Amino acid sequence: MVDIAFGPEPGPRPKADDPAAHYMELTRRRRLYGTILLVFFIATMASGFHLAEERNAGGFFSGLPMVFAFPSEVVAEAWEKRANLPGLFWSYLPSLIETLNIAAVSTLIGGALAVIMALLSSPGLSPWPRLTPVLRRIMDASRAVPEIVIALILIYILGPGPVPAVIAIAIHTTGALGKLFSEAAENSDMKPVEGLTSVGANWMQRMGLGILPQVAPNWLSYGLMRLEINVRASAILGFVGSGGIGYDLKIAMQWGLGRYDQVVAIFLLLFLAIAVIDRLSDNARARLVKG
């Protein structure tokens, strides 16, 4: 009723005398747009794959039969030396623990920084609202830099080891979790904060007693999800840079034939660790969300 004051909406008016024809026309036009979009999408995908294929060292169809060649070669050799596997598991356990430690420590550090960033960058919660856009851009940038870039540069400065990987993953985690945390904090109920303000609580108390209890389950759940991602990232960083089981995998792979039992041992350890952590964090998250 009120909208009448603003006049009719822009665009063609429905034909009041023949709604069926109008509906059919609308449907046909939507189908046409959909088809054009689909054709465009398929053409892009096809030409993209063609281009990627041209710029690749090996072709797709020539490589396809080879997909299982390497795994079967590896598994065959490992099967011959299957007696070594338990010993190898044991010897690679410290590397696996290092990889998991890298993931856990970087999640903790990044999570702690993300809490600070999130509270400072949520309008309505931040003590310095003018800072929020700056902090948001910082988080965007730290999310955009791939971990590998920071890790490789830090390896040059700090030398090979787990610390560059921790810093690299922690920076990325700060950006990624900071965004999710601040979204959760913005949607929280402001009444407890107002209540605390009225009794003279300072900012720390308002956040700790008013906001934190509301968002803790959500934040913990996001943090666990990040931990799963970071375990994988830590393994990959080990492979490209140094530290943890990823590095052992690279060494074993470079050796090639003759050490495939080690490759299989590392694959299995990594697979099991990721599966166990995923399962544990899935269960914990389900409990957190359902209360």
Partner 1 sequence: MTTTTLNPSVSPSLAQSVTAQFARRKMKAMLLPLIVLAYLIYSAMAFDLPGLASRARMDNAAILMSDFWQHKTHVTRNNRSGVVSIAIDGEGKGTYPAGYLPEWVSETSDGTKVDLGNGHLITYFDGGARYEVPGYGDIVITQTADGVTLDAPQPLPEWISASESRVSVTTDAGRFSYTRAKAETLKYQAGWALFFFGIESPFHYMSWPEIAASVLWGERVEAERSNISAVLHDFWTNSMWRHGDVAWAMFETVLMAFLGTFGAALVALPLAFMAARNMMPFASLRFALRRVFDFIRGVDGLIWTIVLARAFGPGPMTGALAILLTDTGSFGKTFSEALENIDEKQVEGIRSTGANTVQRARFGVLPQVAPVLLSQVLYFLESNTRGATVIGAIVGGGIGLLLTQAIQTQKDWEDVAYYMVLIVLTVMAMDSFSGWLRRKLIKGNA
- Chain residues binding partner 1 by CB under 8 A are 41, 44-45, 48-49, 51-53, 55-60, 63-64, 66-67, 69-71, 98, 101, 104-105, 108, 140-141, 143-149, 152-153, 156-159, 161-163, 166, 232, 235-236, 239-240, 246, 249, 253, 267, 270-271, 274-275, 278
**Helices 162-186/212-240 angle, 10° precision:** 150
Burial environment of residue 254 by CB neighbours within 10 A (0 to 12, 13 to 18, 19 or more): exposed
67: phi then psi, degrees, rounded to nearest 5: -55, -40
Q: Which of 132, 168, 134 is nearest to 150 (CA)?
A: 168
Compare residues 190 and 284 and give the one whose CB is closer to partner 1.
284
Compare residues 131 and 216 and give the one whose CB is closer to partner 1.
216
Q: Which of 220, 200, 197 is nearest to 124 (CA)?
A: 197
Least distance from partner 1 to the Cβ atom of residue 174, Å: 15
Report the distance separating Cα 6 and Cα 4, nearest Å.
5
Least distance from partner 1 to the Cβ atom of residue 134, Å: 16
Compare residues 41 and 79 and give the one whose CB is closer to partner 1.
41
Neighbours of 283 (CB within 10 A): 11
Least distance from partner 1 to the Cβ atom of residue 17, Å: 27
Token pair, residue 220, equals: 């913990």
Compare residues 132 and 278 and give the one whose CB is closer to partner 1.
278
Least distance from partner 1 to the Cβ atom of residue 127, Å: 23
Compare residues 190 and 209 and give the one whose CB is closer to partner 1.
209
Compare residues 185 and 241 and give the one whose CB is closer to partner 1.
241
Report the distance separating Cα 120 and Cα 137, nearest Å.
13
Compare residues 22 and 232 and give the one whose CB is closer to partner 1.
232
Least distance from partner 1 to the Cβ atom of residue 252, Å: 11
| 217 touches 291 (CB < 8 A) | yes
| 136 touches 107 (CB < 8 A) | no
257 Cβ contact partners less than 8 Å away, ≥ 6 residues apart: 73, 77
Least distance from partner 1 to the Cβ atom of residue 60, Å: 6
- The b-or-e profile of 186-213 (16+ CB within 10 A means b, else e) is eebeeeebeebeeeebeeeebbeebbee
Least distance from partner 1 to the Cβ atom of residue 59, Å: 8
Burial environment of residue 219 by CB neighbours within 10 A (0 to 12, 13 to 18, 19 or more): buried
